[in-house]
Structure 1
């Protein structure tokens, strides 16, 4: 993985400043440039850019990323209990793994397993941020869920959908023009999929 300062440059080249509605210099200042000498994955906090918007910066074979139509409420998905995300525009995620060994596990089954390993599941913004730096990690039959993001209901229970990122197949619902594009979708928390891993990381830390 490239140094954090190089990752910020890549995000700026992709058009992050335009999406955030600020100039590049201001955005770089928010990243606290003096703290960008290390490694890890630079994450864009949803308070800076919503994940539904950030997903449009994803690219695969010249096609931009998109969110499925029936997930228009993606911004209502928040970190689950036990997942503490730094409250800064950018932060760092260390030791990301796509979770290939957890393919064919449901999110409900995978969550305690990830915790038992001393790791943390990824949020959807973290998954997108990782792919913005490592687009090659999105492969046919090797995609992943981001189960740290869930939508709370008014009752206190969680919506059964869990977000994930995979490759669009050009279905009638999504449009033929999106065949092969990065796709933010969802699966039921109790369902298993042989082609979806459960992504996790060693931990999160602020830039400072």
Structure 2
């Protein structure tokens, strides 16, 4: 099955007219499909929806120039790769990101997002909608949400859903961490929704 996916992506990567791509590894949700290198050369993509995939861009990857919408559900991606991908997708308007996506080796990695708050060159200028689901009191994801809000001057709606199986105690921790002010908001018209 993996070899078939790889061949299809190789074929599509040679076509300039591919604008929307959905890869749903539903047949084998226990194993993440590692996206092959040709996937990262598809510069015409405007919309990507990935499910049960492993997102490991090659070192030569410089983002997707035309990407406007991205959805990651159960996608394995490192914090570094995610930050590089997002900061090199300049037209990104809509982002849906599940909490289970990011697999971090330790808590120290999440602190890199805190450091990025002071980086004036990092902005998500076109991002208008951001949605994520948090499944635990995950410090990384909370810091990532704060980074997105702080670096998105056009952000209109940010929706953070807390998964149903999270305990009431964890819900309170998550809400306090997200609502705990002060943290910068780049957009004066931001509407923040927290779904419990």
| TM-score interval, normalised by the smaller of the two chains | under 0.3
Higher relative contact order (CA 8 A, sep 6+): 1
Q: TM-score, normalised by structure 2?
A: 0.25
